[in-house]
Structures are given as structure tokens and as C-alpha cells.
Amino acid sequence: TVFIVFCDSVTNGGKTTLAEKLKKMLPNCDIISQDDFFKPESEVETDERGFKLYDVLDALYMDEMVKSIRNWMKNPRSSGVVKEEPQNTCDSLKNTDHVYILIVEGFLLYNYEPLNELWNRRYFLTLPYEECKRRRSTRVYQPADTPGYFDGHVWPMYLKYKNELEENASNIVYLDGTKPQEELLSCVYGDIIQELKKLRE
């Protein structure tokens, strides 16, 4: 059985940290990250203000991403998953040798049609503007954020995307990215375990 978890969020919402912690706790678990599918800088469009338009699907090789997920689904066993018992496995996972879990983490996963048929569970981490801007300012990007980039491109694109989700997408579990990481982790982990139990029944 394969079980695919999508973990999406606003920039710096905590999705990568969450994905990596989940990977340590879940059996036979892999991660595919949307950030690995960015086009080279030279291929990313620039708008009239000189902002590189990274926060749109056109900045990514999305077809490659879908292909990677499908390849994993065909053969999760050979995807280089290290066969090790996750830390503190709870009893309910003891007989899940045949379950392979993929966590797909990104920031624009839910408005790309071909991805919509691939998930078993979807999460979305949100942050308020001030906190998001503060976290983003502590990170170094390649290429670096230009002055005004967050307000001019990143945040507006996030709001547009989130509005689209609220109008069109169902079955998304929204999470508050300001909550402590451990709390988010235990919430999502518990939820996934419940879903896996349902699969087994």
C-alpha cells in the first residue's frame, strides 16, 4: 500500500521541518520536495518591477515533479528508503511493513490539476503576515530577496493561492503555523496514524 501525504504552506510556514520530523517517526517514509523542481534562474520570468516570479507554477518543472511521484508510487520499495524502525513506533504501526509513505512538501501543490489525484491526505500551514515576513527575513535565498519582494510578490501570490484553495479545494486540513512544532507534529502524526488504520480495515 502507498499512502501519500501532501504538506503545503506559506513560505517559512514550517512544512520542511514538519516533513522531516514525520519522516523520522513513520515507517518506510520518503520526502519529495517541490523546491527541488525550480527552473534555473535564467528561465524564471521577471515582471515589470524586476521581481523574479518564483511563487507561481510556471517557475517550476511541475511535470517532472508529477513524474517523480508516479515513479515512487510504482516502486516505493526501491526508492532508497532505508529500512529502519522509526523512533518510538507506536503499536498501531507494528504491522505496517507493507505501507509505504510519501510526504510531498511544497508551497503550490493544490492548484496543479495533475497532483490532485495523487494524495491521501492534505495539510496546509498558515501564518499571519507579520510572522511570515519576520521568518522570511531571517532566511537567505538564492537569488536573494530584492527589496520589496515579499510585499510585492511573495505575500500577494500566497493570498491569491489561499483564496483559490478556500473556494475550490476540499479535504484540506488547515494548521496554524505559529503553534509549537511539537504540537503540530503530534497533531499531524496522530491524524496520519488514524488514516493508516482506516486503510488497514
**Residue where the block lists cell 500551514:** 125
C-alpha cell at 175: 494548521
CA gap 99, 101 in Å, rounded: 6
User: Distance of alpha carbon 195 from its chain centroid, rounded?
Assistant: 18
DSSP states of 152-201: IIIHHHHHHHHHHHHHH--SEEEEETTS-HHHHHHHHHHHHHHHHHHHH-
CA gap 119, 121 in Å, rounded: 6
Task: Choose, from 35, 36, 47, 97, the residue flagged as catalytic.
Answer: 35
Q: Where would I find the H helices in the chain?
A: 15-25, 62-74, 129-137, 149, 155-168, 181-200
For residue 147, which of 133, 161, 159, 129 has the smallest C-alpha distance?
133
Catalytic, 35? Answer yes
Question: Could you give the C-alpha distances from 189 to 55, 60, 84, 181, in angstroms and in order?
Answer: 28, 29, 18, 12
C-alpha cell at 184: 503540530
| Active site members | 35
